[in-house]
Amino acid sequence: MKKLISTLVVAMSFLLITNVSVAQCDDHDDTKHAKSSCNDATSKIAAIKFHADYCGACKKLDPKITELKSTYKDQGVVFVQFDFTNSESKEKTKELASAEGLESVLNSYKGTGYIVLYDLKNKKVVGKLKNSQNVAEMEKTINTYL
């Protein structure tokens, strides 16, 4: 029995270590579409989710983001995730922010469970989406800046 429990603990630890969330900048989850950069000429707005795996509001945002990604496919909205789950994901988030020119956003906002809308052309924050909003309200806000 002890050997079985030990094996399970090792297996679970491996899964947790290898299944770390990573900061990412892409506007499509499925592999049929190439990942898009915030620096892409067609990208207009970055919807930056401040995320942590342990954040309840973040989990509630996920289905809304999936719907928004579908709605704004090929419309110039890039969905970015800044992940604050652990030190590794925080470091990858810093690297992503630097590579995509989003350091000012990363340094200006704290906490998790919301989305910041960033105008990529004018280099400024233009709005914020909250978990309390429904998808239609989020779309209305995004459409204001497209």
- Please, which residues bridge with residue 129 across strands? 115
Residues 6+ apart with CB under 8 A from 59: none
Q: For residues 93 and 83, is the Cβ–Cβ distance under 8 A?
A: yes
Q: Where is 127: in which H helix or E strand?
A: strand 124-130
Instruction: Tell whether the model's pLDDT for residue 141 goes beyond 80.
Output: yes
CA neighbours closer than 13 Å in the CB half-sphere of residue 8: 5
Domains, the chain, ordered by start: 23-30+38-144 (3.40.30.10)
Comparing 43 with 144, which gets the higher pLDDT? 144
**Please, what is the end-to-end C-alpha distance for the chain in angstroms?**
60
Q: For residues 135 and 70, is the Cβ–Cβ distance under 8 A?
A: no
Instruction: Tell whether the model's pLDDT for residue 126 goes beyond 60.
Output: yes
Per-residue pLDDT band at 33 (split at 50, 70, 90): very low
Quote the pLDDT of residue 45: 95
- Give me the mean pLDDT over the 2-29 stretch: 42
Instruction: Tell whether the model's pLDDT for residue 32 goes beyond 80.
Output: no
Q: What is d(CA 126, CA 38) in angstroms, rounded to the nearest whole number?
A: 16
Quote the pLDDT of residue 65: 97
Q: Tens digits of per-residue pLDDT, 81-115? A: 999 999 999 999 999 999 999 999 999 999 999 99
